[in-house]
Homo-oligomer: A and B are copies of this chain.
Amino acid sequence: MTVTLADVAARAQVSPATVSRVLNGNYPVAASTRERVLKAVDELDYVLNGPASALAAATSDLVGILVNDIADPFFGIMASAIQSEIGGPGGRAGGERLAVVCNTGGSPERELTYLTLLQRQRAAAVVLTGGAVEDAQHKAAMDAKVRKLTDAGTRVVLCGRPQAPETGAIALTFDNRGGGQELTEHLIRLGHRRLGYIAGPEERTTTRHRLEGHRAALAAHGIEEDPRWTVHGRYDRRSGYEATLELLRRDPTLTAVVAANDSVALGACAALRESGLRIPEDVSVAGFDDLPFSVDAVPALTTVRLPLTEAGARAGRIAMGREEPPPGGITSVRGELMVRGSTAGPRA
């Protein structure tokens, strides 16, 4: 039925061992023999049996990429960059690795299960993207799992996620706190004193860090924050829309709205506009991430650009062992404030 190594061997008049060595190319094989084998492979249309090969060799060429939401370009861009370095077919790398992206949907259980699945497949490496969930129990479970993976020789790289010390993972984190602070400081310098903040889901590190940066900026300028100015939601446009209406209801005198990310900011803009407010004349709006569509918003969105592509590529290279991990196994990547039309001084 299906063609096996033995079939190829028979046709090429060599032993299975030789065929295997030709295919893996890590053992001297005479040119003439190699040719004969390759010809047989071609004629028989032979396709290696991955599982069998992985079993015998005790390694696989699978590399897992975990993302929170594959429909969100934030993750898509990182995944794309990681994958381009992982190799995969046609990638920059040599070997043919199967880079697979797994969508956790932000669910802690799924995250864990995917890790187990990857462990089960004896993945060569795993890259975890995006913020982590801040639940002590889940964090412990994750750390243990990561520890197990690294112990088993799987390289684990975190991209945009805080370090899990003692787990053997390499971390490339984003300076969300610094970015958040810089962004809010920009608004304060423009003269804003009453700033609404639309945060992401409560329990995520990314959410907390960005919010902390925002608050640090307020504190640094002696602005006392009104609890009504902060609303939590999801990282999507819809959430930004609803949260903004809520914010407006709570305090119609706000002169600026800072959003957890660009999608949320877009939703905020829509809500403001529908409420008859002009941007930035009546209310300034700021986002985070600088996704491709942000520059096309009207007015263009002031935001913090995160080097997603660069960070992803680097994470990919580290995962493949083609770049030295940062000293200490952790490094923080800074964002860059992009001042655009959606922010201006408050109405007089």
Q: How far, in angstroms, from A79 to B60 measured CA to CA in the complex?
A: 24
Whether A117 contacts B89 by the Cβ 8 Å rule is yes
Whether A102 contacts B98 by the Cβ 8 Å rule is yes
Interface residues in A226-278 by Cβ distance below 8 A to B read 236-237, 263, 266-267, 269-270, 273
Residue-wise, chain A 109-127 has the 8 Å CB interface mask toward B (1 for contact) of 1101110111111100000
Copies of this protein in the complex: 2
Q: How far, in angstroms, from A298 to B272 measured CA to CA in the complex?
A: 13
Whether A119 contacts B70 by the Cβ 8 Å rule is no
Q: How far, in angstroms, from A298 to B299 measured CA to CA in the complex?
A: 9
Judge if A292 is at the interface, Cβ distance under 8 Å.
yes
Residue of B nearest to A123 (CB): B50
Residue of B nearest to A265 (CB): B296
Given contact pairs A50-B120, A116-B47, A293-B293, A71 touches B60 in the complex (Cβ within 8 A): no
Whether B110 contacts A47 by the Cβ 8 Å rule is no
Contact among B103, B112, B296 for A297, CB-based, below 8 A? B296
Residue of B nearest to A1 (CB): B152
Judge if A336 is at the interface, Cβ distance under 8 Å.
no
Q: How far, in angstroms, from A287 to B323 measured CA to CA in the complex?
A: 42
- Which 6 A-B pairs have CB atoms at the shortest separation, nearest pair first? A89-B113, A100-B100, A51-B54, A298-B298, A71-B76, A50-B120
